[in-house]
Amino acid sequence: MAASEPSSGQRVLVTGGAGYIGSHTCLELLQAGHSVTVLDNLCNSSPESLKRVESLAGRALELVQGDIRDFDLLRRLLGSPGGKQPAFDAVVHFAGLKAVGESVAQPLAYFDNNVAGTVCLLRAMAEAAVKTLVFSSSATVYGDPASVPISEDFSRSATNPYGRSKLVIEDILEDLYRSDPAWCIARLRYFNPGGAHVSGLIGEDPQGTPNNLMPYVSQVAIGQRECLQVFGGDYPTPDGTGVRDYIHVVDLANGHLAALRALRQDDGQSGRFLTVNLGTGVGVSVLDLVKAFERASGRSVPCRVVARRAGDVAACYANPALAKTLLGWQAQRNLADMCADAWRWQSQNPQGYRQSAAQAHSDGATR
């Protein structure tokens, strides 16, 4: 079965659903016939993303503005213990902080939000007997890999508090499953998400200076930033710049639907515990990406090679074979698609979702 085919409708709680990957996943879930409730505290997102998701899907979702660390709220949302039918079939858990540099400066904020927040969510799920979870892990758990491509059985390590928060959560999920094999858990290790929905209506909306390559390149192409700093030109890679596995965000979103289906296969019998890379298997250098973006946008992206960024690895790309075997999923879109879609989003929304908020405000003021 193709990864994007609809399956029977489930009631899905999406934590962090207003964010970049979450909003794209909400759209795919709605389009596949699932019903969606988003729990998001909007610390790094705008509700405008979800308004656009609803208009693209032609269907409504529910947004609950709140924090995954609020146990009473989760209890109310998931359904009370004993007797009452759980309110959801599954939880897709995106909520978390994700800036590596910030995590080094504020480790406790990362452990509190990501680790304590996940424990709070899991306690509420256990109490409500909602035992199906898809978790956003990351290729960061592979640390500095001994070789590429990276398979799921490679050793794991953390090089910063953000990465450690993902490692700890991965371990907590494994312990939880061991304690109660009725749980159905998928740990999805994303490689480098990029691109946007083909409509140009939803996409990545970084606050302040982007940390990641793709949004930075977009902002240079549109003239908001002068020049891309290429972090390191002396890596042992074909052109000396860092190599990564850029995966289209819509493919990534569909990976979550495939995981939900795979977890359901054993529904009612016993649980399942899956750990899967979501990547393309293709290594792309910084300069490859810049060239592809220039082609897609018709704009030039001036670059300057500077020193390596602390903590970066030379090359990181997935062996994606297990996702195909276990989930029936593989990436459908290539680097050119990703750049074309990122450029459409960037050029139609130069200020991201802020533009819509300002527009709505001025429309209201003139009415």
* Residues with active-site annotation: 162
Largest interatomic CA distance in the chain: 63
Which listed residue (48, 67, 152, 288) binds ligand NAD by CB under 6 A? 67
Count of positions on this chain that bind ligand NAD (CB under 6 A): 28
51 forms part of the interface with ligand NAD (CB under 6 A)? no
113 makes contact, choosing from ligand UFG, ligand NAD, none, with CB < 5 to 8 Å by partner type, with: ligand NAD
Least Å distance, CB 71 to ligand NAD, is 12
Residues 39-58 that bind ligand UFG (CB under 6 A): none
279 forms part of the interface with ligand NAD (CB under 6 A)? no
Contact 311, 101 (CB under 8 A): no
Which listed residue (21, 115, 167, 296) binds ligand NAD by CB under 6 A? 21
Which listed residue (139, 188, 250, 259) binds ligand UFG by CB under 6 A? 139
Ranges of H-type helices in 270-320 = 286-297
Residues 205-224 that bind ligand UFG (CB under 6 A): 211-213, 216
C-alpha span between 340 and 221 (Å, rounded): 12
Specify the DSSP element, H or E, that contains 54. helix 48-57
Count of positions on this chain that bind ligand UFG (CB under 6 A): 21
Q: Residues near 82 by Cβ (< 8 Å), separated by ≥ 6? A: none
Using the minimum distance from each CB to ligand NAD, give the nearer residue, 8 or 65. 65
At residue 97, the 3 state secondary structure works out as coil
Rounded alpha-carbon distances, angstroms, from residue 218 to 231, 282, 327, 355: 17, 21, 32, 17
242 forms part of the interface with ligand NAD (CB under 6 A)? no
Using the minimum distance from each CB to ligand UFG, give the nearer residue, 154 or 190. 190
Least Å distance, CB 341 to ligand UFG, is 17
Which listed residue (3, 14, 22, 341) binds ligand NAD by CB under 6 A? 22
219 forms part of the interface with ligand NAD (CB under 6 A)? no
**Helix 20-31 × helix 48-57 angle, to 10°:** 20
C-alpha span between 88 and 10 (Å, rounded): 8
x/- contact string, 95-134, with ligand NAD (CB under 6 A)? xxxx--------------x---x-----------------
110 forms part of the interface with ligand UFG (CB under 6 A)? no
Which listed residue (312, 321, 332, 357) binds ligand UFG by CB under 6 A? 312
Q: Residues near 152 by Cβ (< 8 Å), separated by ≥ 6? A: 189, 275, 276, 277, 322
44 makes contact, choosing from ligand NAD, ligand UFG, none, with CB < 5 to 8 Å by partner type, with: ligand NAD
CA torsion sign, 151 to 152 to 153 to 155?
positive
- Give residue 31's identity as a one-letter amino acid code: Q
CA torsion sign, 249 to 177 to 37 to 44?
negative
| The pair of three-digit structure tokens given for residue 65, joined into one six-digit string | 């503005």
| DSSP secondary structure string for all residues of 193-247 | EE---TTSSS----SSS-SSHHHHHHHHHTTSSS-EEEE-S-SSSTTSS-EE-EE
Which listed residue (42, 56, 172, 313) binds ligand NAD by CB under 6 A? 42
Using the minimum distance from each CB to ligand UFG, give the nearer residue, 75 or 225. 225
Which listed residue (23, 44, 45, 140) binds ligand UFG by CB under 6 A? 140
At residue 304, the 3 state secondary structure works out as strand
Measured CA angle at 234 (ends 232, 239), to 5 deg = 95
Using the minimum distance from each CB to ligand UFG, give the nearer residue, 79 or 352. 352
Taking CB positions, which residue lies at the least distance from ligand NAD?
A: 19
94 makes contact, choosing from ligand NAD, ligand UFG, none, with CB < 5 to 8 Å by partner type, with: ligand NAD
Q: Which residues bind ligand UFG (CB under 6 A)?
A: 98, 100, 138-140, 190-192, 211-213, 216, 228-231, 242, 244, 286, 309, 312
Footprint of ligand NAD (CB under 6 A) = 15-16, 18-22, 40-45, 67-69, 94-98, 113, 117, 136, 138, 190, 193, 212
